């Protein structure tokens, strides 16, 4: 776990190791989906959200999933992240078939392998920024030790929120909230970081800051990042772009 590593010197996010990881970028995908199908509703009101989607997400890259509203981007992401069950098809992350896990196993798997950043409401309002960042660690049931604190401080520093750590979410700007959310998502060094419209609620300057940090995460930390967006400007920050239309990848 990266969580136990010593903090890297200021300015770089483990660039040396990132280079190592990059070598096998194309060897095993970070996540793959096969023949994912999902519908909502029944009869007349039946809506196809995913029609037999196949997808491989390469390791260590920043992938954007683009498409018009209602094309199934979010549904795909939910299925990939184990938040929702597809009607048929399989999702494999880090060699594990998500379909074989029960609710508790899936939860623990999510905790250890997947990080999330949502459009809004990322942070628990009653916790401070630093408590929010440390939340995934706390959920593992371990005592919060110096190493975890140091890693949280380091991530906060790297994301530019180090001086806001004692504040509650209500006292942070939208951009700051999203960056705190990214720091939390990265705390346990997940295999995959999912971001659903992370800049949807932000002005362009704040959005640029968040996107910048997401890209650095991929490039300097070797983190696999998947971002859902319908904003072409946001998609420009990504390494790869997948376009969805009418519940299919085109």
Partner 1 sequence: MRTIFLASLRTFGRRYIAAQIAVSASVALIVVIGVLIAGARAGIMAADGAPYRKADYVIRAPKDDPQRRPSCCPGTLNTAAAIDLIARLGENASGLGRVALPLRRQDGAPLRSGNLRDETTVGPIANAKELRWQALVTGRLPAGIGEVVLHVWDANAMNIAIGDRILVGEGPTVAPLEVVGFVESPTTWTQASMYVTWRQYLQWRDHPTFHIGSVAVRGKIGRLPQGMTAYAPEAYVTESLARLNNGTDALALLLLLFVCVALFISIMVVANTFSILFAQRCRDFALLRCVGATKRQVTSSVWREAAVIALVASAAGTLIGVALGYGLIPLVNALAPRTPMGFPRFPAFWLLGASALGLVVTMIASLVPTRRAVQMSPLAAMRPDVPVDIHTAPGRFQLALAVALLVTGLVSLAFAMIEDSKVLMVAGGASVIVTILLIGPLFIPPMVTACGTLLGRYGRLAAANAARNPRRTATTTTALLIGVTMTTAVLTGLATWRTAIDAHRDTRLPIDVALTSLNKPISTTLLTQVRQTAGVEHAIAVNGAVARMTGLDAPIPVLAARNAEQVARDGGRFTKVAPGTIALDLDSFASRGGTLRIRPGSRVTVRVGNRQADLRVVLLSGWGKAGVIAPETLKLLTDSPEPHVIWARGSRGANWLQLVDDLDELADATGGTIEDRLQARAAGNRQLDVLEWSALGLLGISVAIALVGIANTLGLSVLERARENALLRALGLTRKQLRQILAAEALLLSVVATLLGMSIGIVFAWVGFETFVVRALRAATMEVPWISLSVVMLVVALAGLLSSIIPGRQAAAVPPAAGLLLD
Q: What span, in angstroms and rounded, lies between the C-alpha atoms of 60 and 188?
A: 16
* Least separation in angstroms between CB 57 and ligand ADP: 17
Q: What span, in angstroms and rounded, lies between the C-alpha atoms of 83 and 79?
A: 6
Candidate segments 58-66, 70-78, 92-100, 175-183, binder of Mg ion by CB under 5 A: 70-78
What is the C-alpha R_g of the chain? Answer: 18
Residues in the interface with Mg ion (CB under 5 A) total: 1
40 binds, among partner 1, Mg ion, ligand ADP, none (CB under 5 to 8 A by kind): ligand ADP
Pairing of strands 114-117, 240-245: unpaired
* Least separation in angstroms between CB 111 and partner 1: 2
Q: What span, in angstroms and rounded, lies between the C-alpha atoms of 99 and 91?
A: 7
User: What is the contact mask toward partner 1 in residues 76 to 115, using x (rule: CB under 8 A)?
Assistant: --x----xx------------------xx--xx-xxx---
DSSP code per residue over 85-111: --SEEEEEETTEEGGG--HHHHHHHHH
Closer residue to partner 1, CB minimum distance, 118 or 237? 118
Closer residue to ligand ADP, CB minimum distance, 60 or 72? 72
91 — phi, psi (to 5°)? Answer: -125, 130
By CB under 6 A, name the binding residues for ligand ADP: 40-41, 47, 49, 67, 69-75
CB 136 within 8 A of CB 113: no
Among 63, 74, 189, 229, binds partner 1 (CB under 8 A): 74
164 binds, among Mg ion, ligand ADP, partner 1, none (CB under 5 to 8 A by kind): none
């Amino acid at each position: 776990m990266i969580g136990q590593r010593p903090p890297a010197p200021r300015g770089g996010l483990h660039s040396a190791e990132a280079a190592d990881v990059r070598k096998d970028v194309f060897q095993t995908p970070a996540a793959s989906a096969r023949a994912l199908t999902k519908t909502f509703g029944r009869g007349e009101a039946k809506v196809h959200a995913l029609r037999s989607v196949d997808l491989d997400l390469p390791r260590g890259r920043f992938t954007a999933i683009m498409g018009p509203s209602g094309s199934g981007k979010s549904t795909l992401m939910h299925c990939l992240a184990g938040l929702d069950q597809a009607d048929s098809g399989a999702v494999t992350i880090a060699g594990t078939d998500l379909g074989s896990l029960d609710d508790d196993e899936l939860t623990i798997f999510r905790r250890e392998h997947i990080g999330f950043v949502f459009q809004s409401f990322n942070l628990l309002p009653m916790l401070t920024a630093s408590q929010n960042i440390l939340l995934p660690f706390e959920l593992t049931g371990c005592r919060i030790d110096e190493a975890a604190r140091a890693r949280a401080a380091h991530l906060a520093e790297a994301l530019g929120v180090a001086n806001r750590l004692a504040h509650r979410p209500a006292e942070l700007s939208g951009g700051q909230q999203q960056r705190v959310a990214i720091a939390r998502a990265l705390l346990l060094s997940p295999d995959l970081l999912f971001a659903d419209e992370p800049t949807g609620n932000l002005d362009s300057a704040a959005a640029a800051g968040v996107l910048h940090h997401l890209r650095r995460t991929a490039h300097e930390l070797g983190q696999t990042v998947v971002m859902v967006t319908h904003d072409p400007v946001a998609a420009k920050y990504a390494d790869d772009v997948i376009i969805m239309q009418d519940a299919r990848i085109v």
